[in-house]
Structure 1
Amino acid sequence: MAVRPEGTPCWADAMFSDVEGAKSFYGDVLGWTFGESSSQYGNYTQAYADEKAVAAVVPPMPGQEGQSQWCLYLASPDAAATAGRIREHGGEVLMEPMQVGDFGTMCLAREPSDAVFGVWQGGIHEGFEAVAVPGAYCWAELFTREPAKADSFLCDVFGYTAKQLQDEAIDFRVFDVGGDPVLGRMRMSEDFPPEVPSYINVYFTVADCDDAVATATRRGGVLRFGPHDSPFGRLAALTDPQGANFSVIDVTTTQGERPQAADVT
């Protein structure tokens, strides 16, 4: 697979106190199978959809126990240089760039409105081996109460161009790399409890949204929104039994015209 352009989502993982529980839940909901855990790398365990690597689960490191959450990684040709720009433009580097064997180099950061994300400079592991097929990553959106901070940071650090959705009901922006949309940004409304911080919501593709929701809720997940028909697919937002938010989308079931968006200068 070709190296992804800088700023393109390229991987997702999550820490779970109960890794076996997470494997069982996502195995049922998304059809994942799992490789062997790597004790050399903190029992990091890759998830597969149709034998393609699509995500990973890992137990928390000592002192990092807490609510689980999915972390989205953005591609970089030089993680150290990206970390420098993150600091320069008001972000915080939570974990300095660290080489992970021959697999690549990672770092963790927080953008100025407080959402955490990862940076990945690929080595032999370039990232997702499949996208937008059942079980695989499809899309992601940054939810924030301070969109101006997030918007300028993302464009300054990753060189995104931006389009603003022409809809008075919501404040939604799409970031492009080379003309291809790679990330959304949604202003959090008053419907979000004040204690919910900024976060990046990851969408996984499913063959049938309603079936995935039924399985997730039967397995102890909580339905937050949907299922809802949209021009992009039938989707739903969920929280897994360990508190990690994620969404599912059936991209083959669409309804309505895609909204217009205007370039942002």
Structure 2
Amino acid sequence: MAVQPEGAPCWADAMFSDLEGAKNFYGEVLGWTFAQASSEFGDYTEAYVDGRAVAAVVPPMPGQEGQSQWCLYFAAEDAAATAERIRAHGGEILMEPMRVGDFGSMCLASDPGGVVFGVWQSGTHEGFQAMAEPGAYTWAEVFTRDPATSDAFFSSLFSYRQRDMEDDGGSFRLYDLGDRTVLGRMEMGEDFPPEVRPYVNVYFGVRDCDEAVARAVKLGGVLRFGPMTTPFGRFAAIGDPQGANFSVIDTTTVEGEMPKLTDVS
């Protein structure tokens, strides 16, 4: 695939203490196969669908052990310059910009409300080699307890145009790059326990949402929400056996009318 424009999601990875367990789980649920771990880069292991890179799993670095979490990376023309913009708009740099061999440059950051994300400046590794198909990244949403702050931060960082769903009470917003919608933003209400930190929820495509949920639960995953059919597809939110949250979506199974959208920026 072509290099994604600045601000578009371009890659996803997650740290797992039990790397083999993660490979088994996602291999069964999403049909992934895996490359040989790269010892030079901390056993970073790419996942594939039909031979195309769609994500990666990696053991935690010393001192970073804890609950697993998926990290979504946004494309950047210059990772160091993007890091400076993150600081300027109230975000925090969690890992300073660094070069990863010839693959590219990256940094890790959080918005002012604690939403963790990555920045990727591509080199030989351009990001997702497949998107919006079974087993591949399909969609993502920022889950935040402070939507106004997150909206201001991300739109300043990447010049997103923003639109609200009219029938959703303003709790769900879309971020656009030009005429392409690239990200959603969901307000975390009282139904989210206080201990649940803000995060980016990554969706992976599946052929059958209910079958994917059944496989996930059988392998020790937890169904958080759904399955539910919407105008965008049938989806469910899942926690994997190591605590990483993600969603699966079958975009071919739809129901209802598309909601009306209102420009807000």
Report the counterpart of residue 66 of structure 2 in structure 1: 66
Distance 1:16 1:91, change over 3 A: same
Tell me the residue number matched to 2:17.
17
2:196 is aligned to 196
Measured against aligned partners, the alpha-carbon deviations of 1:138-162 in whole angstroms (never above 9, x if no partner) come to: 0000001100000000000111111
Task: Give the TM-score normalised by structure 2.
Answer: 0.99
Matched letter for residue 52 of structure 1: R
Residue type at the aligned position of 1:6: E
Distance 2:80 2:161 in 1: 22
Determine whether 1:177 maps to 2:183.
no
In 1, distance between residues paired with 2:189 and 2:225?
14
Number of the residue aligned with 2:159: 159
User: Residue by residue, what CA displacement relative to the aligned partner does 1:124-151 show, whole Å, maximum 9, x if unpaired?
Assistant: 0000000011100000000011000000
Equivalent in the alignment of 2:44: 44
The letter for the 2-side match of 1:242 is Q
- Aligned partners of 2:71 and 2:190: how far apart in 1? 24
The 2-side partners of 1:261 and 1:221 are apart by 34
Q: CA RMSD in A?
A: 0.7
Paired residues for 1:116-265 under 5 Å: 116-169=116-169, 171-265=171-265
Contact persistence 2:91–2:110 (CA under 8 A): yes
Compute the displacement of 1:59 (Å).
0.1
| Cα separation, 1, equivalents of 2:260 and 2:173 | 11
* Structure 2 SS opposite 1:203: strand
Distance (whole Å) between structure 2 residues aligned to residue 67 and residue 2 of structure 1: 33
Higher deviation after alignment, 167-176 or 25-34 = 167-176
Displacement of 1:169 in angstroms is 4.5
Q: Counterparts of 1:169 and 1:120 in 2: how far apart (Å)?
A: 33
Asked if 1:115 is matched to 2:115, the reply is yes
1:2 offset after TM fit, Å?
Answer: 2.0
Q: TM-score scaled by structure 1?
A: 0.99
Equivalence for 1:30: 30
In structure 2, relative to structure 1, the CA distance for the partners of 1:5 and 1:113 (3 Å cut) is same
* CA displacement 1:157-178 (0-9 Å, x = unmatched): 1111110111245610000011
- Quote how far apart the aligned CAs of 1:93 are: 0.7
- Name the % identity: 68
CA contact 2:164–2:170 (8 Å) conserved in 1: no
The runs of 5 or more residues in structure 2 that have no matched partner are none
Q: What's the offset of the Cα at 1:113?
A: 1.0
CA distance in 2, matches of 1:168, 1:256: 14
How far does the alpha carbon of each residue in 1:81-111 deviate from its partner, in whole angstroms, 9 at most, with x for none? 1001000000001111100000000100000
Task: Give the aligned length.
Answer: 265
Cα separation, 2, equivalents of 1:140 and 1:168: 18
Cα distance in 2, alignment partners of residues 214 and 232 from structure 1:
21
Question: SS of the residue aligned with 2:25?
Answer: helix
Contact 2:176 2:183 survives alignment (8 Å): yes
* 1:218/1:235 CA distance change after superposition, 3 Å: same
Contact persistence 2:3–2:127 (CA under 8 A): no
For 1:3 and 1:248, the matched residues in 2 are separated by 24
The code of the aligned residue for 1:201 comes to N
Distance (whole Å) between structure 2 residues aligned to residue 113 and residue 217 of structure 1: 31
Separation in 2 of the partners of 1:6 and 1:263? 21
SS of 1:167 mapped into structure 2: helix
